[in-house]
């Protein structure tokens, strides 16, 4: 059963406020991948503390970098279940992880920052991981 919208709205707004586009349905995800040319980042958002304290702040910091992806989108695990499954279905080799960050170039996986690379680290360190990849692909 998905989390109630009222509960997750503030967590969604953390990313939407900084310009991240939500993909709420499997159709939204299909449309995104049909036009994913260039550098892209997908944030799999979550209600957990490491999403609030580390992942979302890291995304905000990384998006202040001079080089950033052409497309930045998000799905919300635990609520947008079909959209999350559609993203995960594109990368069957990756273990499911919430939160997580997928960085791609022309639809191909470049980096995967899973929960184990988020937990226990600072938002600045996670953002540094992202911006190093941005410098290579953007």
Instruction: Provide the residue ranges of all domains of the chain, joining segments of one domain with +.
Output: 5-137
Q: For domain 5-137, say whether CATH 3.40.30.10 is its number.
A: yes
Mean pLDDT across 98-115: 97
Q: pLDDT confidence of 7, banded at 50, 70, 90?
A: confident
pLDDT at position 136 over 90 = yes
- The pLDDT value given to residue 2: 78
pTM value is 0.96
Catalytic annotation, residues: 48, 50
**Any residues with CB less than 8 A from the CB of 59 and at least 6 apart, and which?**
15, 18, 20, 41, 43, 72, 101, 127, 130
SS3 101: strand
């Amino acid at each position: 059963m998905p989390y109630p919208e009222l509960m997750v709205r503030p967590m969604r707004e953390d990313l939407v406020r900084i310009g991240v586009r939500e993909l709420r349905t499997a159709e939204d995800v299909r449309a995104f991948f049909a036009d994913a040319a260039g550098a892209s980042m997908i944030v799999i958002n979550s209600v957990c503390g490491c999403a609030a304290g580390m992942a979302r702040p890291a995304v905000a910091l990384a998006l202040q970098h001079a080089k950033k992806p052409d497309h930045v989108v998000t799905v919300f695990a635990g609520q947008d279940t079909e959209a999350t499954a559609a993203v995960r279905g594109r990368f069957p080799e990756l273990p499911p992880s919430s939160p997580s960050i997928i960085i791609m170039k022309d639809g191909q996986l470049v980096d995967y920052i899973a929960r184990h690379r988020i937990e226990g680290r600072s938002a600045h360190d996670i953002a540094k991981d992202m911006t190093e990849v941005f410098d290579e692909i953007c």
